[in-house]
Amino acid sequence: MASQAKVAAPTKIRRGLWREIVKKRWAYVFISPFYILFLVFGFFPVLFSIYLSFHKWKGLGPMEFVGLKNYTYLLGVGGKAFWQSIENGIILFFMYVPIMTFVAIVLAVILNSKLVRFFQGYRTMIFAPYVTSMIAAGFTFRLLLENKGGLFNVALNMLGLPGIPWLENVWWARVSLCLLVVWGWLGYNMVIMLAGLQTIPRELTEAALIDGASPVQAFFYITIPLLRPVILFSVILSTMGSFGLFNEVMALTGGGPMRATLTTLVQIYNEAFGNFRFGRASAQAYVYFALIFVLTLLQFRYFGREG
């Protein structure tokens, strides 16, 4: 009798669950498009790319199973461009992320101050580049930074200074890319910092000022520590962005000169849709994912600690 009761209990649960599903069938029908689209365009491509990373395929014809060759290929001479793109991402990170993050914090503190009038207008102006097409901005920067005829070099020549090879020199090409990225993403980071600042009670800063602390001391010893989680969030996004720059690179430099501005996302794109090596591109994408995942964990581990 006891065993029969144990068998009957799950059966009743399944019947009750099925009755609930039938009862709410129209609700499930109305929310089903999201899940169908997610499975088709989200979940399936992830599974297919994992499968593809173990095959050789040019987009047409049968696939050839190659095992781990697409991954071991990255350890040899063939992976030189991929690892250079990783190196470029690290260099770009240190070139623009600290400066952009600090300037975003300073601007957020200024706009959060009671002394600033019409702060909504200033916030909108600083945020506006973020909603601008980065392709259009990239081409505009390219015209401004041309070696001959570019507005920047024309202004330098008028001052009696020699022109700068903005897009022809390895160092200056990276500087140019960083200028474009900071211009486009500074407002976004500033808004994140501003939202974080508005959660910090003003009384803490005011109390420190009354006790004799200078505004600079209050900024570094009160505002920055309390803003730490928001700063960490912004830096993690910027880290992923440093390796995943695409529109900015394609519009401004194309990855040159000498692959100096080639980012990982552009490299994967070139491998897939330029060389039609979809298996190798998938393997590079998952190695890239693993590196970003580990780097994010390290940032949480060493910079996300309290105290």
Task: Summarize pLDDT for 14-58 with one digit per residue, the tens.
Answer: 676 777 777 777 887 888 888 899 898 888 999 999 999 999 998
Residue 12 has what pLDDT? 64
CA distance 181 to 100: 9
Pairwise CA distance, residues 166 & 142, whole Å: 9
The model's pTM is 0.83
- Taken in order of first residue, the domains within the chain and their CATH numbers are 2-52 (no CATH), 72-303 (1.10.3720.10)
Average pLDDT value for residue range 98-112: 90
C-alpha–C-alpha distance, residues 221 and 230, integer Å: 16
| pLDDT higher than threshold 50 for residue 1 | no
277-293 confidence digits (pLDDT tens): 999 999 999 999 999 89
Q: Sorting pLDDT into bands at 50, 70 and 90, what band is 271?
A: very high
What are the residues facing 65 on neighbouring strands?
A: 55
pLDDT reported for residue 181: 94
